Amino acid sequence: MQALAAACDGQTVVLGVGLSVTRALGVTVPGLRDFPQLPDARPTIPATQHALWLWLRGDEPGDLLLRGHELQKLITPDFTLMQAIDSFLHQDSRDLTGYEDGTENPKDAAAIEAAVAQGQGACIDGSSFAAVQQWLHDFPTFDAMTRTEQNHCFGRDRDSNEELDDAPESAHVKRTAQEDFEPEAFVVRRSMPWVAGADAGLVFLAFGKSFDAFEAQLRRMTGHDDGISDGLFRFTRPLTGGYYWCPPLAGNAIDLSALG
């Protein structure tokens, strides 16, 4: 873990630690838990928790692959690569359906307040809790909808990005409106589209000062609060789901002191 942390700078590589690692080390990171099992979720939400999550960031896919190999060498054979997803930014931060993603993200100080732990203890402050899900889009189903139906899945107009007054209660932005939760449920989303051959969708990624805001949104999307499922499920579904704790930075280095 120390060797891995030394190779992660929080910018070009983001490190996320799963609960099984802290358990194996005999330490507790307050707030770190496994991705929830949600038996009452409609539709079903898979939990595919792993020990580590690494987000490699850069412009050139070949460089990213080779950097990934270097990181793997540092942690083999203790950790085995379970999944790698190539993701990218599409146009001006749009989902592959054409809808702009990230509009309602908190900004500047509000983003830090939403996404970075503060006042939770020396080893935890400055860290972040990342929820990651790979979603697979069903493009034939989406393409068969009228533009109005598509807009109603999201609750926004695709071309103007305006919120729709007449959107149904199932509309995604109505399900997830961050100020409508008690307490308010703000997160910083950094989702990116992915393509693998003919399959494609979105890697949903949200950073929070805890997992609570994401989990409240996910529960409302899956009908836990009022029996209404999110309109997005008409054309997309998650394949994976994991929770990872991103340790704080001390200078340019990752501070793993919470792990003992």
What is the amino acid identity at position 82? Answer: M
Decide: residue 70, CB within 10 A, 0-12 exposed, 13-18 middle, 19+ buried: exposed
Considering the rule CB under 6 A, would residue 204 count as an interface residue with ligand HEM?
Answer: yes
User: Maximum Cα–Cα distance for the chain, whole Å?
Assistant: 55
Identify which of 162, 216, 158 has the alpha carbon closest to the alpha carbon of residue 184: 216
CB-based contacts of 160: which residues, under 8 Å, 6+ apart?
Answer: none
Q: Which is nearer to ligand HEM, 97 or 127 (CB)?
A: 97
Please identify which residue in 50, 90, 156, 190 interacts with ligand HEM, judged by CB under 6 A.
156
**What beta strand segments (E) does the chain contain?**
13-17, 52-56, 128-137, 188-189, 192-196, 199-208, 236-238, 242-246, 249-250, 253-254
Answer yes or no: are the C-beta atoms of 134 and 50 closer than 8 Å.
Answer: no
> Which strand (E) or helix (H) includes residue 62?
helix 61-75
Q: Which is nearer to ligand HEM, 217 or 229 (CB)?
A: 217
Answer yes or no: are the C-beta atoms of 126 and 32 closer than 8 Å.
Answer: no
Considering the rule CB under 6 A, would residue 172 count as an interface residue with ligand HEM?
Answer: yes
CA atoms of 157 and 229, how far apart (whole Å):
20
CA atoms of 49 and 132, how far apart (whole Å):
10
Interface with ligand HEM by CB under 6 A: which range of 21-29, 53-61, 111-119, 168-176?
168-176
Considering the rule CB under 6 A, would residue 35 count as an interface residue with ligand HEM?
Answer: no
Q: Which is nearer to ligand HEM, 78 or 159 (CB)?
A: 159
Site string for ligand HEM, 212-251 (x = CB under 6 A): --x--xx--x----------x---x---------------
Q: Which is nearer to ligand HEM, 173 or 259 (CB)?
A: 173
Considering the rule CB under 6 A, would residue 178 count as an interface residue with ligand HEM?
Answer: yes
CB of 13 to ligand HEM, least distance (A): 24
Residue showing tokens 């533009």: 147
Considering the rule CB under 6 A, would residue 176 count as an interface residue with ligand HEM?
Answer: yes
CB of 137 to ligand HEM, least distance (A): 7
Considering the rule CB under 6 A, would residue 104 count as an interface residue with ligand HEM?
Answer: yes
Q: Which is nearer to ligand HEM, 128 or 236 (CB)?
A: 236
Considering the rule CB under 6 A, would residue 91 count as an interface residue with ligand HEM?
Answer: no
Considering the rule CB under 6 A, would residue 99 count as an interface residue with ligand HEM?
Answer: yes
CB of 100 to ligand HEM, least distance (A): 6
Residue showing tokens 């900004």: 107
C-alpha dihedral, 11 to 12 to 18 to 21, nearest 10°: -110
Residues that bind ligand HEM (CB under 6 A): 95, 99-104, 133, 135, 154, 156, 172-173, 176-178, 187, 202, 204, 214, 217-218, 221, 232, 236
